[in-house]
Chains A and B, each alone.
Chain A
Amino acid sequence: MSAGRRAYARGVRPSRPAEPILHLDMDAFYASVEVRSDPTLAGRPVLVGGTGGRGVVASASYEARTHGVRSAMPMAEALRRCPDAVVLAPDFARYREASDALMAILRSVTPLVEPLSLDEAFCDVGGAVRLLGDPPAIAEGLRTRIREELCLPASVGIAPNKLLAKLCSEKAKPDGLLPLPAAEVRAFLTPLDVRDLWGVGAQTAQRLARFGLTTVGDLAAADPATLVRIVGEAAGSQLALLARGEDPRPVVPHEPPKGMSAEETFDHDVDDPEVLRRELLRLAERVARRLRAGGVAGRTVVLKLRYASFETITRSRTLAVATDQATELHREVVGLLDELRLERVRVRLVGVGAHNLVPAGGTRQLDLLGSDRWDRLERTADRARERFGDAALTRGSLLDGDDPSEWPASEGPS
């Protein structure tokens, strides 16, 4: 983490970090979900899988793994190694639900989320660093939210590409975080077993071993032509690429994001409407910038409130024309807030969301009354923040807040 952080500490933030890819993998996902719903299982070896004669282990808690139990092991053998284990039949509806909540958390950070399975996804956070901090900070934030909101452990690898990010998350387990700065890729890869590489199975590994190639470092040092001779044309050049830690595959989001939102829990419950409005403006700004960064606009604006009583309500309104502007989002959520006619009701959390996303793709309904001026202004502000950092520009109405971190930096860009 330290080396990764250092790169961002210097002066102006880079527009895109060298390590923008996260691979997030839940730890013993099915077993963890079961433990969450039955806390008496905590600390005990838990096996989820087929309970019949030929059943296999689908997921094993870490307590079970210390006995040598692994996923895909026959249940009978698992029970021989760990006779005290609690065996549960899988409940996929429940895992799907937890997975949906997990993916929603990931998508609140970036629209570029590529789920690999129920409990595993790649995220490209390159576009989110200006808003949310460097990738290790984003990853730690995600882990915290997943732990607090879903009560589930997750491990994250952070790296320049998908191949490396996945290798890192494997090393980070359980419940860990491993950033791999671009400069350390070679040192990280060299000692790894060839079988750690994507696409290298037992057979390929055996063939490589016959030529004395057992580590990734061996592969990297080998002549690519030799690799092609050993494993064939396509696999050989692929292997040479992977051995050097190169992986050009982009993160491809599987489903379009349904919405984007931002919310804030107050340190103290708030009943001052002015404070609520100001916080809504701050959140609207955050959502609007994320929409613009993702090239989308939302037609439905959502206000979320959690009262001091923990009662949570949402109100929404669908616009004639989709928007990616903070000014408009703010006007709508304030309208929704006013309609609630709150009188000295204490509020614990506020949130702003934009749903019903459509590609902003350049088409834009023009406005007679000059709302376009706001549009141009907000886009100009985006560019200024890109160059000079988040604090370079903010709204006057946000300045009298009591959070000095929101104030413009006194020193200029270095």
Chain B
Amino acid sequence: MKFRAERGEFADAASWSLRTVGARATLPALSGVHLEVAEDRLTLASTDLEVSSELSIPVQAERDGKALVPGRLLGDVVRSLPPAAVHAEIIDDRLHLECGRAKFDLRTMPTEDYPPLPEPDPEAGAAVMKAPTFSSLVAQVARAASGDDARPVLTGVHLEASPAGLIAAATDSYRLAVRSLSWEEEIEGTVLLPRRALDEARRVADSLGGEVRLVLEDHQVTLFVGDRRLTTRLIEGRFPDFRQLVPTGWDRRLNVERVALAEVVRRVAVVGEANTASTPVTLELTEDAVRVTAGSGEVGEADETLPGVLEGEPLQISFNPRYLSDGLDAVASDEVHLEFRDELKPAVVRPAPVEGEEDLDGDFLYLLMPVRV
């Protein structure tokens, strides 16, 4: 293998590849990035057995071939390269890199040890989304997924794809985020995938723009963004029946400025240890105002009131401040609707519809359980 590549392109490709390099010591080959040159393209691949990634960049190839290079080392080397074209060549079991006057000589690992990476069936159903649409969907939904590995099902994002559209949902059992969008695509399937895979794809979509192509298969999901591909295994188990969790109506509805409420919640929550339910924030809703309080005699108290329009009877309800701000942050609209039954039933955050403006949030809802005080 021998090629010449642009430094910037090569460095970007290598550092992206590193993001899915395996950390487990049991299979040393997984700590490597797999390089392959063919038809004037360099393909970089890596996997941690859950998520695998692949991308290719154009190079001037003198000799085709492949190599398995220790990932961490490759990353450190390319980050430090001077701005000049990169010349790479495999000689015996070593990778020689030359860039300007810098020369590196890296020991490689046997390519035979590298497991075959999963690839999507070209016949499998696929759907295409604009990159910003995909990004906003992931940003809105993934935040509700759990970080607790004890309940793997709740660490994932549930996707339901049909020819008419896509529904994405995640819940950590304290809140639930659901987003749907419509499309006309040849695709059908329901999957539960690791949040990490979606976050990685979103990162690429944000930086590259363009389109995201989603391929669903029974045992894996693949996301293409530009010339990059991520394939992820699915989480086993049944995602909760989230539709049944969403209330069918409301007794009280608050219309409030989203950013203003989010700021007040964050400010008031300072007196409590953030993100614990032991110091919730309490909302007191009256006809034309929302009073937000938090704290206890022990630590201190905070209190702030902002305008808001309530339909229905006054209500006092408490939340974990982090769960409430997450919900408010997930929406892009200027105003939100908060729908309530009573102080012990789930509350729903929705973007308030604005006539004549582009709908940035699609059909989104964020449901959160209150804290009983």
Contact = CB atoms under 8 A, between A and B. Distances in A.
A369 B275 CA distance: 20
Given A299-B276, A364-B372, A371 B173 contact: yes
A137 interface: no
B371 A317 contact: no
A335 B149 contact: yes
A359 B171 contact: no
Interface in B210-253: 240, 245
Interface string B263-290: 0000000000001111010000000000
A368 B367 contact: yes
A359 B272 CA distance: 14
Q: Which of A321, A331, A335, A358 has the most CB of B within 10 A?
A: A321
Nearest to A332: B150
Interface string A357-393: 0110111111111010000000000000000000000
Contacts of A331: 150-151
B349 interface: no
B372 A368 contact: no
B175 interface: yes
B150 A334 contact: yes
Contacts of B172: 320
B344 interface: yes
A365 B277 contact: yes
Given A366-B371, A367-B369, A322 B277 contact: yes
Contacts of A366: 174, 344, 369-372
Contacts of A365: 174, 277, 280, 320, 369, 371
A151 interface: no
A182 B186 CA distance: 82
A87 B320 CA distance: 59
Interface in B320-373: 320, 344, 346, 367, 369-373
A319 interface: yes
Given A358-B278, A368-B171, A319 B148 contact: yes
A331 B275 CA distance: 22
Contacts of B176: 368
A38 interface: no
Contacts of A255: none
Given A321-B276, A322-B276, A363-B280, A368 B150 contact: no
A221 to B, nearest CB: 47
A363 B373 contact: yes
A331 B344 CA distance: 25
B277 A364 contact: yes
Given A299-B276, A322-B278, A364 B371 contact: yes
A223 interface: no
B247 to A, nearest CB: 11
A21 B373 CA distance: 33
Nearest to A339: B149
Contact of B148 (A317, A358, A359, A367): A317
B275 A368 contact: no
Contacts of A371: 173
Contacts of B147: 320
Given A322-B278, A363-B280, A368-B176, 17 more contacts: A317-B148, A320-B174, A321-B174, A331-B150, A332-B150, A362-B373, A363-B372, A364-B277, A365-B174, A365-B277, A366-B371, A367-B369, A368-B173, A368-B174, A368-B240, A368-B245, A369-B173
Interface of B: 146-151, 171-176, 240, 245, 275-278, 280, 318, 320, 344, 346, 367, 369-373
